[in-house]
Structure 1
Amino acid sequence: MTTCEPHFGPARPDSTPRAAGDRGRRPDVAAAPTASRARTAITEAVVRRALHKLPLRVQFADGPVLGRGGPALTVHRPDDFHRRIGRHGLIGFGESYMAGEWDAPDLVAALTVLAAHAAELVPAPLQRLRGLWALRRPYEQRNTPGGSRTNISRHYDLSNDLFALFLDDTLTYSSGIFRALPATWDLLADAQRRKIDRLLDLAEVRDGSRVLEIGTGWGELAIRAAGRGAHVTSLTLSHEQRDLARTRIEAAGLADRVRVELSDYREARGTYDAVVSVEMIEAVGAEFWPVYFRTLDERLAPGGRAALQAITMPNDRMLAARSTYTWIQKYIFPGGALPSVEAVAGTVRDRTGLTIGRRDGFGAHYAETLRLWRERFTERAEEVAALGFDDTFRRMWTFYLAYSEAGFRSGYIDVQQYLLTKEDTHR
């Protein structure tokens, strides 16, 4: 969006204390962890060996420059940098950035190199011992019905005004589909509508269609579906999103066609001609993927169609990291997990009666979407601060957006649109 309109008023009374108190909720960033001299020395040797082989130019404050040349990265406090990585691996690497211990003039370029070489960063012997040194996902982040509500709230209930600062006028928080790349900011809203319309077309949403949306966002898809004459039931676990989505739906004059419910997908009832779900499977958790896809099957009427948008990662990396605790899970999306194309196909085949009719990937478009969000977030740093979010939070979100963009630019992650169909046994 070109301005902050529509403005939604000040953040909710409970959101400013959350932002202002963030420093207290991030004790692992406030100070580098203690570690033995031996452990730090081993970590330094492993890290510097990995960096030496990469197309980067890494300058350490204590002297050495490592890498084969490429994007620059400067380590201001090498001892803290190594202690964090030694204790917490890649979580420590992200926390070190949040703490200002390292920086890069082109953060995305540096992270893209690291993402492209992710499988090589840890020596093979240590990879085989991953279960001994990698942090395990906290049990409380499991996406049970109660756990999902907590996990979703930690991200999506931060503040509607925060998201409005860097999203376009559609308030769509998923990848757009552009007519051509690279893109510019003024084309983002059109790209988001194109993405939504493509999903609605895949699901054959038309006048009179009964549509279930799993994951409301801020209501744009429901609005466009209702604009076609569909009757939409949309489910979300975010209070902030539900309230604003309802406001936007009413403003569009479509309240009689859209019902937004604060409900888990497992609580959905009834049958629908179409189910649409955009980048929600990432919040389901691997152990609940079968439940999620069975829900699609059970909610679809015979002959129905489901259209999904999902972020995916390579199957070997998914299997290697399936129980590992990541920086993204700790700070951005608790309980999050990306499936592979193979995992989606296997779950649909083995746990449902659905058929995958189509799959299209467009990761380069997500990289551009994220670039535009990141640039807008950076431009509006003072407004982010005015909402009560501190410097560490802003570095955290800059790292998150850049880290995600790098994942798509390197091909480490991708995004897919799926069409799933249900046979009409009554024909």
Structure 2
Amino acid sequence: MTLSPSRPTADSWPGLFDLPSGPRNAVASPIARRLFRAAVSRLDVTVEITLGPGRREVLGRGGPLMRIHRPEEFYARIGRDGLIGFGEAYMTGSWDADDLGGFLTVLAAEMATLVPASLQRARALVVARTPHFHKPDRDRSRDLIAHHYDLSNDLFRLFLDPTLSYSSALFESDPSGRPLLPADLETAQVRKIERLLDVTGVGEGTRVLEIGTGWGELALRAAQRGAHVHSVTLSTEQLELARERVATAGVADRVDIELCDYRAIPDQHPGRQYDAVLSVEMIEAVGAEYWPSYFSTIDTVLAPGGKVGIQAITMPHDRMLATRGQYTWINKYIFPGGFLPSVRAIEEVTRDHTTMRVADILGFGQHYAETLRQWDTRFLAARDERAELGFDEVFERMWHLYLEYSRAGFASGYLDVNQIVLERPQEKA
């Protein structure tokens, strides 16, 4: 994304401020109004709608407060673009929420039933489909990754902890598995990485392949254990900083970071095999049609007796099937080409396309909710620094919505995050 001036303009966000109009809007907007009002009226939220000077209407059964400042724009955007319009209406300031994450958590908990069952069958006719230029094939994947991860290393530094880990942390837990608070983010990020290295047996002399470098923390910690690490990424910004961090840590002789698509590894390094293959929250960018290729590539390069450790954001299998191929606000503005698997989908793909099987799963979705809460708090506190980097007010609202929208998914249980270990059962036997 091109950096915008600190104050948003229509030129810096093409099309965003264009309001829906025409015959379709005349039909869709009133329908959206009825559906929205019916939905929130049975939820534990409070929706305050501005009808004019000094005039307000309140809906809902009480709970986190949403304020709709420009209802005609709000309904028109939802009528035209559904949840994409819902997100864009927040970006333009058509609505606000005092506790954005709390409000969205209530919605996320009812996601499957917000639209009446009688209308679910018609959903495929009106929901936008993923555009062809968001297909994460070899020709497009690098550009899709750059849209998010090459925004600015300095931007990510503003809200990530010192490890620069951009994935769920693993906090100390109470007996129910929920994170104990207060929780130190850096310590929890290290715990997450060290656990993944432990369960895959990474140690002195281990040959490690990492798919998705991030900013290098996992690679340098594996190297500090004595492993030899080959890490691949498609982000030029991350590549540069990860190499710098690895060198500063004094392990550059044991870490090779390469700008490379995971599909090209067997061709570019023929015959090379690894004792451990690690990939933290990268499968979400692979695309459902490429999951067989992703796991087959891992199977090809995994040495006999090796283990695979994947950290993956997942969703329920039925919701995955219902939303596959749909174009979402997250796709349009945050992660183009992204799609979340279910645990069942991972089990089925590996069973049908590889010799590997799932051997262990640790789910800790509530820990992601806390991770995102801390990221958002840091992000909002860095307003002046963001402005100096050139990110404007619309970007702030967009990123705040992204972080809180994601937090709501985990807090409600709609989403989960798992560390999944894959092994070859015949070798173990």
Aligned with 2:317 (options 315, 318, 324): 315
Aligned with 2:233 (options 233, 236, 240): 236
* Structure-2 residue corresponding to 1:280: 282
Could you tell me how far apart the structure 1 residues matched to 2:376 and 2:194 are? Answer: 25
**Alpha-carbon spacing, 1:64–1:357, altered in 2? closer, same or farther (3 Å):** same
Contact kept in structure 2, 1:302 and 1:423, CA below 8 Å: no
How many residues are aligned here?
413
- Give TM-score, length-normalised by structure 2: 0.93
- Within a 5 Å distance, the mapping from 1:54-65 to structure 2 comes to 54-62=43-51, 63-65=56-58
Q: Residue deviations 1:193-234, cap 9 Å, x none?
A: 100000001110010000000000000000000000000000
Contact kept in structure 2, 1:217 and 1:241, CA below 8 Å: yes
Aligned with 2:139 (options 120, 124, 146): 146
Aligned with 2:248 (options 251, 254, 271): 251
Could you tell me how far apart the structure 2 residues matched to 1:424 and 1:46 are? Answer: 53
* Structure-2 residue corresponding to 1:30: 17
- Within a 5 Å distance, the mapping from 1:20-419 to structure 2 comes to 24=11, 26-35=13-22, 36-62=25-51, 63-180=56-173, 181-184=179-182, 187-269=184-266, 270-419=272-421
Stretches of structure 1 that go unaligned for 5 or more consecutive residues are 1-13
Could you tell me how far apart the structure 2 residues matched to 1:157 and 1:112 are? Answer: 29
**Alpha-carbon spacing, 1:122–1:130, altered in 2? closer, same or farther (3 Å):** same
SS at match of 1:417: strand
Could you tell me how far apart the structure 2 residues matched to 1:254 and 1:298 are? Answer: 27
Contact kept in structure 1, 2:8 and 2:393, CA below 8 Å: no
Contact kept in structure 1, 2:153 and 2:237, CA below 8 Å: yes
Stretches of structure 2 that go unaligned for 5 or more consecutive residues are 174-178, 267-271
Could you tell me how far apart the structure 1 residues matched to 2:257 and 2:115 are? Answer: 46
Could you tell me how far apart the structure 2 residues matched to 1:20 and 1:249 are? Answer: 37
Contact kept in structure 2, 1:328 and 1:400, CA below 8 Å: yes
AA aligned opposite 2:36: V
SS at match of 1:253: coil
Contact kept in structure 2, 1:312 and 1:414, CA below 8 Å: yes
Contact kept in structure 2, 1:116 and 1:410, CA below 8 Å: yes
Contact kept in structure 2, 1:20 and 1:388, CA below 8 Å: no
Could you tell me how far apart the structure 2 residues matched to 1:146 and 1:189 are? Answer: 36
User: How far does residue 20 in structure 1 lie from its aligned partner after superposition?
Assistant: 8.7
User: How far does residue 33 in structure 1 lie from its aligned partner after superposition?
Assistant: 1.8
Could you tell me how far apart the structure 2 residues matched to 1:17 and 1:178 are? Answer: 36
Could you tell me how far apart the structure 1 residues matched to 2:65 and 2:181 are? Answer: 25
Contact kept in structure 2, 1:307 and 1:420, CA below 8 Å: yes
Contact kept in structure 2, 1:61 and 1:75, CA below 8 Å: yes
Considering only aligned residues, what root-mean-square deviation do their CA atoms show, in Å?
1.8
**Alpha-carbon spacing, 1:250–1:22, altered in 2? closer, same or farther (3 Å):** farther
Percent of counterpart pairs with the same letter?
54
**Alpha-carbon spacing, 1:195–1:353, altered in 2? closer, same or farther (3 Å):** same
Contact kept in structure 1, 2:6 and 2:393, CA below 8 Å: no
- Give TM-score, length-normalised by structure 1: 0.93
AA aligned opposite 1:61: T
Could you tell me how far apart the structure 2 residues matched to 1:98 and 1:58 are? Answer: 18
Misfit runs of 4+, over 4 Å: 14-23, 423-427
AA aligned opposite 2:313: I
AA aligned opposite 1:349: R
User: How far does residue 424 in structure 1 lie from its aligned partner after superposition?
Assistant: 6.7
